[in-house]
Structure 1
Amino acid sequence: MPETSQDCKALFLKFVEAASEYCPPVGLQATAESAADGTEAQQSQEGRGAERILGMLSSCPLYRDDTGAAYIQINSRLERLDSRSRSLLAYLSYTYYTLTGKAPRRESIGQAVQVLEGKALCEGTLIEIFNRVGEKDGIIYYHMGGRCVAISAGKWELIDSAPVFFLTFNHQRPQPDPLKGGNSWQFFEFFNNIPEEKRLLVLVTIIASFIPKITHPVLGVIGSHGAGKSFFCGALKTIVDPSASTLLSMPRKEEDADLLLYRHHLLALDNLSELSGSLSDRLSAVITGAVLEKRQLHTDTDIILLRCNPVIVLNGIVPFIHRADLLDRTITVNLERITPTGRREESVFWRQFHEALPSIRGGIFDTLSKALEIYPTVKLKSLPRLADFCRFGFSIGEALGGRGNEFIQAYNENANLEIEEMIEGNSLCAAIVSCMEVRGYLEGTVKEILDKLREIASPATGDKSFPSSPRAFRAHLERLRVPLSEMGINYRVKGKTCKGRLIEFVKADAAPATDDGVSPEGDSELPF
């Protein structure tokens, strides 16, 4: 032991000198170096994985659309560049394994996709994306899963590839080639319970489903048990947009319906009992061209824009659409109950239907090509709601044997039936109509009028069609303005008094007549 401070200082200096000259054992030194090298090797390997994936895809074209989405075309299939895409992840993983014999790291795929997405958004070609049905230079292209059908004025033909871009989804199914000279009316051999007066309207709606960039009406199918509602909707889906998911149920969360509308050109929802007001408003907006917004994750503010132009088919036992805005865009078909002698076994039905499908679809394309030839010469003297659909509908009716005016008449009759349905299904609307039939004129404060209408309607508890307060009364009236006007009933909100704001209802002597005629002269261009 050191006895003095000088001894302690000398001992301390020896320890310092020994420590500065210390070298760790060879084994421990090698372990530390290998650990450091391993981290760098791992990072380098991940980098090489991403670089290899980028090299694999270097010859694939990159695209972008006007919603800010990026795409890559791989073997004629257009894929959205999203690191969470299962189909893209599966393809890249399989290709990488085939070339290297090793599975890629998910981080490597994510890095590669992120680079490609940035490159596509900055350098990619701007394109327009379609789902199942597209258009370019006045020619309609129908994607059959492999080949395409090109439909122009006066003719249609099968082609190997189309000059437009289609989104493809795993649920979509390929189709048999259509037959020229087919018969679209053959569809009603399988559904002879559709009323005769509705058949032209139904067939025109089916054929118009192959026209892109127009507003399509909702097809609402109503019928009792055993009327074949699900078969009818499934057959329409098979004709227009064949899929592994032929019929779908309404999602529990309404916002999940957005993805269904985006992924299906024809969306068939089965066995509905009621449509909420918010979902009715959502469908109305999509029908008229609204772009859907989806948040990427619940934890961030990134928004995905989904553009779609769907055909919507809904079915139920009782009427389920009560909002005037959506009802005004709906064609309703009431199916009669199938008699015991008219029923077929399900396996027999679908076998016979698939055998007839090439003829039915070929007849549809024959009619549509004639309609495209007729369309530029048609101009309706008065334009109803969904004007583009009606003008095309008239052209299709003419192509079906000069039945254009018959289609317009059937369309207007459907609109009148929808108004009657509105009266039956809406307590407030029914009370206003009943009151105005007796009085012809009604004036008072908002509260006074509402109390009077409540006496007439006697709404049940929980009846959402009748307003619960004067404030809600104004909002309900705005939704009913158009159907009330169609019945010759108009209202206006007047000045405010000491008792409250006044409102006035006036019933016209007669509603304006609808002119069903057409002019032989029209626009020379298609609306595309």
Structure 2
Amino acid sequence: MTQRSAATVIVDMATDHYEVRRCTDGTVFAVPRYGIPFTYPLRGGRTSLRAALARQYFAVAGAAAPQQALADALLVLEGRGQDRDPEQLHLRVGRHEGAYWLDLGDATGRAVRLTADGWAVTDQGLPLFRRTALTTPLPEPTRSGDTRPLWDLLNVGEDDRALLLAWLVSTLLPDVPHPVVGLFGEQGTGKTTAGKVLSMLVDPSPVAVRKAPRDADSWVTAASGSWVVALDNLSTVSDWLSDTLCRAVTGDGDVRRQLYTDGGLVVFAFRRCVIVTGIDLGAVRGDLSDRLLPVNLHRIPDNRRRDESELWPRWAELQPVILGGLLDLAARVIGVLPSVRLDTKPRMADYAGVLAAVDQVLGTAGLDQYVSHAGSLASDSLTADPFVMALHERLSAPFKGTSAELLAFVTPPDERWRPPKRWPSKPREVTMLMRRQVPVMRQAGWMAEELPPGHDNVVRWSIRRPEKAHNGVSRASHDPGRPEKVRNGVSQDSRDSRGTRDMREHRLDGASHATLEGDAARQSSTDCESRTLPDSHSASDVSAGQSITARLASPARHDYPPSQDAYASEPRHRPTTNGVAQQPEWPACADPECSEPARRRCHTCLLHAQEEPRYTTATPDRLTKGSP
């Protein structure tokens, strides 16, 4: 009789006690044939199948299993597992056979089965859960629980409580995206404690909150082992972390090279519930602001502050009660969720539906609060983009044009100006930037859209500033019932609303300029002379020797297209001849198609005229040309 090798003995041992299966991502795992259906990865640390087989081999043979024999046996088992149909593995929460499940993570293998009819703790008919080194047991939830004790631990205002409850309910629903909860507040508001409590309520871990990952690889390692990931004390959000958090909300995926192989790949695909804490993240990018759920924490009075030795024993008492109350609320929400209809769906519409269901069950107004937060975040996120802020400062009338024309308009003509970081340098970058920011701009009140491409297949934009300025002060509207502002005897409202004109696309020195709709009025020379310059131009802007280029470089916001008052008005101290004031006469337009009369130049002329005006002596009968 041929003596069996150690590898064969290990394979037979594994076959007798375990069943190998395959996950949907191709990973092979093992499940005990008898007892609690825990899942074991083939390789890894102390919870792997390799460790279990090494322990059993020593118990049977009285000697340690050869390392090569273990490796050969696992390779055979992995091959067998690849022949199986793929199955879904869940981490902490899952959906199986029409019910939602919450893994208690204890040695009994039990889980909570949650439906619209209620919830129950059971060990029958469970889905397959995987556990990691970060999986800590949950206490068994209490019947007739209550979520109200949660607010004794979190200093959250009443307006934001429905938002957090809806988020906690959504953490029990694994098939919907979850917004990133941002816990913000000054020092002493208990941000870290709040992050720990929210994380431990559904997915307790030995590391309830952790520092921000240093790179994308660190994020995959940290997020792959927990359902809820809490990042503590963030001060800024880098671009790569912003993208990573957005992907984790909607469903992240990554590919890594398998260790000790030349071409083997490991696929990481997951969706996570994320919490971030910090005093202030500053202006975040628009895609992250769309997925952010900000919650402002109030400062804890000194007479209500608790030390650690008092806080966490109290939490251990309240956690089963709060968890039971959360499950009660979740069951009611699941019951009404199919009937929820939103008139308009904001970003993170799945969460908004859960929030609307919570409002229906509890009689709260969380959805209105959520929409209000979204608008504020959109405005704040735009401040992080210098190009959009420059556009906001320079644009007062509607713009229509290509990305190249938009870049030319927003970029100051001053040669001394240097572009800030993240400023686009070419039209293609403007197109990419605008496509990313246009949805956020709409949320902030802008009228912005990408127009259908014309015959030249060039991207064009239509942009109008919001009715409210960035600082929240309403801009002048064209409401005829509103009282007019009068300055120097001239109605400012009527001056700004005397109609719009469509300017043809002009070409000067080979450069194409935008076709624009502007508020520049067609007025007579006499009418222009009776006015002063707008408030955005100081007295230094109208000195007799200043060129048009210098005026355009002014940091103040300009109308587009610019009015004649702003760029072609006479100086306040005009040259005189024999006591008679002279009239400015600007250089002739270089565009042969331009038919504008003197002092009514097209925008192309005004942007490119580099010469100083000539002056003519005004008489009652005629204009007599004078010397430059």
* Pairwise TM-score range, normalised by the shorter structure: 0.7 to 0.9
Residue 132 of structure 1, CA deviation: 0.3
- Which of 432, 454, 472 is the matching residue for 2:391? 432
Residue 305 of structure 1, CA deviation: 1.4
Match status 1:130 vs 2:90: yes
- Whether the 8 Å contact between 2:387 and 2:423 is mirrored in structure 1 is yes
**1:425 counterpart SS class:** coil
Taking only the aligned residue pairs, the percentage that are identical comes to 26
Structure 2 residue aligned with 1:91: 52
Structure 2 residue aligned with 1:103: 64
| 1:224-272 deviation digits (Å, cap 9, x = unpaired) | 2222111111111110100111111122232221132221100111112
Residue 85 of structure 1, CA deviation: 4.9
**1:215-364 alignment runs, 5 A limit:** 215-297=177-259, 300-319=262-281, 322-364=284-326
Q: 2: CA distance between counterparts of 1:321 and 1:115?
A: 53
Query: Quick one: structure 1 residues 465 and 200, their matched pair in 2 at CA, closer, same or farther if it must change by over 3 Å?
Result: farther
Q: TM-score, normalised by structure 1?
A: 0.79
Q: 1: CA distance between counterparts of 2:281 and 2:319?
A: 30
Structure 1 residue aligned with 2:6: 49
Residue 80 of structure 1, CA deviation: 2.2
| 1:323-345 deviation digits (Å, cap 9, x = unpaired) | 21121111111223333223110
Structure 2 residue aligned with 1:476: 433
- Whether the 8 Å contact between 1:493 and 1:502 is mirrored in structure 2 is yes
Query: Quick one: structure 1 residues 427 and 227, their matched pair in 2 at CA, closer, same or farther if it must change by over 3 Å?
Result: farther
Residue 175 of structure 1, CA deviation: 1.8
**1:512-523 alignment runs, 5 A limit:** none
Q: 2: CA distance between counterparts of 1:442 and 1:302?
A: 53
Query: Quick one: structure 1 residues 321 and 353, their matched pair in 2 at CA, closer, same or farther if it must change by over 3 Å?
Result: farther
**1:73 counterpart SS class:** strand
Q: 2: CA distance between counterparts of 1:207 and 1:445?
A: 46
Q: 2: CA distance between counterparts of 1:380 and 1:173?
A: 37
Structure 2 residue aligned with 1:201: 163
**1:210 counterpart SS class:** coil
Structure 1 residue aligned with 2:19: 61
**2:390 counterpart SS class:** helix
Query: Quick one: structure 1 residues 462 and 156, their matched pair in 2 at CA, closer, same or farther if it must change by over 3 Å?
Result: farther
Structure 2 residue aligned with 1:117: 78
**2:65 counterpart SS class:** coil
| 1:415-460 deviation digits (Å, cap 9, x = unpaired) | 1121122133332333333434xx231356645533543549xxx9
- Whether the 8 Å contact between 1:272 and 1:320 is mirrored in structure 2 is no
- Whether the 8 Å contact between 1:249 and 1:271 is mirrored in structure 2 is yes
| 1:95-139 deviation digits (Å, cap 9, x = unpaired) | 2222222111221211111111110111x3431111100111221
Residue 274 of structure 1, CA deviation: 2.3
Match status 1:381 vs 2:343: yes
Structure 1 residue aligned with 2:616: none
- Whether the 8 Å contact between 2:31 and 2:37 is mirrored in structure 1 is yes
**Counterpart residue identity of residue 156, structure 1:** W
Residue 407 of structure 1, CA deviation: 2.2
Q: 2: CA distance between counterparts of 1:448 and 1:506?
A: 12
Q: Mark the runs of 5 or more structure 1 residues left unpaired by the alignment.
A: 1-43, 512-528
Query: Quick one: structure 1 residues 431 and 202, their matched pair in 2 at CA, closer, same or farther if it must change by over 3 Å?
Result: farther
Query: Quick one: structure 1 residues 106 and 424, their matched pair in 2 at CA, closer, same or farther if it must change by over 3 Å?
Result: same
Q: 1: CA distance between counterparts of 2:466 and 2:73?
A: 70
Structure 2 residue aligned with 1:73: 31
Query: Quick one: structure 1 residues 101 and 360, their matched pair in 2 at CA, closer, same or farther if it must change by over 3 Å?
Result: same
Q: CA RMSD in A?
A: 3.0
Residue 370 of structure 1, CA deviation: 1.0
Q: 2: CA distance between counterparts of 1:120 and 1:393?
A: 42
Q: 2: CA distance between counterparts of 1:321 and 1:76?
A: 47
Q: Mark the runs of 5 or more structure 2 residues left unpaired by the alignment.
A: 469-628
- Whether the 8 Å contact between 2:134 and 2:206 is mirrored in structure 1 is yes
Query: Quick one: structure 1 residues 98 and 422, their matched pair in 2 at CA, closer, same or farther if it must change by over 3 Å?
Result: same
Q: 1: CA distance between counterparts of 2:180 and 2:296?
A: 14
**Counterpart residue identity of residue 167, structure 1:** R
Q: 1: CA distance between counterparts of 2:271 and 2:11?
A: 34
- Whether the 8 Å contact between 1:443 and 1:502 is mirrored in structure 2 is no
Structure 1 residue aligned with 2:136: 173
Q: TM-score, normalised by structure 2?
A: 0.67
**1:149-168 alignment runs, 5 A limit:** 149-168=112-131
Number of positions where the alignment pairs a residue of Structure 1 with one of Structure 2:
457
Q: 2: CA distance between counterparts of 1:223 and 1:382?
A: 31
Q: 2: CA distance between counterparts of 1:509 and 1:318?
A: 26
Q: 2: CA distance between counterparts of 1:254 and 1:462?
A: 29
Query: Quick one: structure 1 residues 467 and 320, their matched pair in 2 at CA, closer, same or farther if it must change by over 3 Å?
Result: same
**1:450 counterpart SS class:** helix
| 1:26-60 deviation digits (Å, cap 9, x = unpaired) | xxxxxxxxxxxxxxxxxx99x72222222221131
Query: Quick one: structure 1 residues 139 and 345, their matched pair in 2 at CA, closer, same or farther if it must change by over 3 Å?
Result: same
Residue 301 of structure 1, CA deviation: 2.5
